[in-house]
Structure 1
Amino acid sequence: MKHRLTIIVGSTRPGRVGPVFAEWLRAAADEHGKFEPVLADLVEFNLPILDEPHHPRLGKYEKAHTKAWSQAVGAADAFVFVMPEYNYFAPPSVVNAVDYLVREWAYKPAGFLSYGGISGGMRSVQSLKPLLTTLKVMPIPEAIVLPAFAQHLDDKGHFTPNDMAATSATTMLDELHRWSVAMKPMRQPAA
């Protein structure tokens, strides 16, 4: 059985391009063949600023949006965060979405597809890693970085990856699979 790779579209702002990159990655992961890739677009979950009355570690969710998000994250074996950089930091929508849950994240690897200007969103990725490790997520160093991302979009907004992006995707997916397989026993309920 293939491991489930949940590709999280992190930007929620109007006019975002994250879904274009996420869809390309979903197709690349499908072609890669070791994962069942699914998209999780934060716009569709519509998570307000954390609004649950109980601490997330308890898993006592009352809101429908939290229950749906919990199910999506809990079903994953690995993640890829597709996100831009906002003021040298991860988008607030991503930080908020991560903070909504605790147990659902544990013992799963995460990769990143970041995009932006000259830095390609790498500072965004680096800012998110400490939060993820606190929740027992293993962020891997292999990633897809798209600096000056607009140059890779045609006049209709379609993404055409260069060789570096395609090679980076394969390398990241190979490593995510290794980590996901290795961590699977840790995801089993404790005896």
Structure 2
Amino acid sequence: MENKHKLLIIVGSVREGRFGPVVASWVAEQAGIHGGFEVDTVDLADIEIPLELPAASPKYAGADYPRPAGMAALTSALEGADAFIVVTPEYNHSYPASLKAAIDWHFTQWTAKPVAFVSYGGAAGGRHAALHLENVLTELHAVTIRDGLAFANYFTAWQDGRPLDPAAPGYAKTVLDQLTWWAGALRSARKAALYPA
């Protein structure tokens, strides 16, 4: 629908036994309840993401950047999105290599679009991963949202695919409200003028 923003939820971990798809499913449900988005989910485990990059930079190559055919679905989803939610665990105080590779294969697809983070982990709830992602995506001229969701000790804090904290849906609504505002503002700005990257 024209009045809805296209939200892409990205499952960042490809690790065996990962919890990311559970979190992403709940986030997608919350986005559906919110009602401001047309929601799509991309699981990086389903995408071919080589670590070896071409010599050219995606910043300057644009549509001519030589990506593997197996990455076409990801590139198309990133290109068509008005906003992103990145679902990430924390590995060694940062985010997964799969997520970094997926980001590095693209540039203009992120530009002048808002990104929110939903992280999970041990005591820190994946916050280190989210902080590192803020720096990376700012370099790509994305707009990172101040508020996010961080699920500490997810292995005991979730049951039957849902967080046990009764306040979690309220926190999710705050994130989605901010993401909606930024998605609308930035989509209008992108239509009005070319972003000076």
Cα distance in 2 between the residues matched to 1:139 and 1:8: 15
User: Does structure 2 retain, via aligned residues, the 8 Å contact 1:50–1:99?
Assistant: no
1:94-133 map, 5 Å: 94-133=99-138
SS at match of 2:186: helix
Aligned counterpart in structure 2 of residue 145 of structure 1, from 127, 145, 150: 150
1:167 matched to which residue of 2? 170
Paired amino acid for 1:46: E
User: Does structure 2 retain, via aligned residues, the 8 Å contact 1:145–1:165?
Assistant: no
User: Does structure 1 retain, via aligned residues, the 8 Å contact 2:26–2:161?
Assistant: no
SS at match of 2:117: strand
Q: What residue ranges of structure 1 are gaps of 5+ in the alignment?
A: none
Distance apart, 1:91 and its partner CA? 1.2
- Is 1:36 the counterpart of 2:38? The answer is yes
Cα distance in 2 between the residues matched to 1:44 and 1:186: 33
- Is 1:177 the counterpart of 2:190? The answer is no
SS at match of 2:147: strand
Distance apart, 1:162 and its partner CA? 1.7
State the TM-score, normalizing by the size of structure 1.
0.92
| Greater alpha carbon shift after TM alignment, 162-171 vs 35-44 | 162-171
SS at match of 2:167: helix
Paired amino acid for 1:128: L
Cα distance in 1 between the residues matched to 2:133 and 2:97: 10
Distance apart, 1:90 and its partner CA? 1.4
Paired amino acid for 2:124: S
2:86 matched to which residue of 1? 81
Cα distance in 2 between the residues matched to 1:139 and 1:170: 16
2:57 matched to which residue of 1? 55
Distance apart, 1:138 and its partner CA? 0.6
Partner deviation per Cα, 1:76-99 (whole Å, 9 max, x = no partner): 000000000011111111111111
| Greater alpha carbon shift after TM alignment, 59-68 vs 106-115 | 59-68
1:50–1:79: structure 2 CA closer, same or farther, 3 Å change rule?
Answer: farther
Cα distance in 1 between the residues matched to 2:76 and 2:55: 19
User: Does structure 2 retain, via aligned residues, the 8 Å contact 1:6–1:39?
Assistant: yes
State the TM-score, normalizing by the size of structure 2.
0.90
Q: What residue ranges of structure 2 are gaps of 5+ in the alignment?
A: none
SS at match of 1:51: coil
Distance apart, 1:108 and its partner CA? 0.5
Cα distance in 2 between the residues matched to 1:37 and 1:50: 30
Aligned length: 189
1:16 matched to which residue of 2? 18
Cα distance in 1 between the residues matched to 2:164 and 2:78: 28
Paired amino acid for 1:116: G
Structure 1 stretches of 4+ with a deviation exceeding 4 A read none
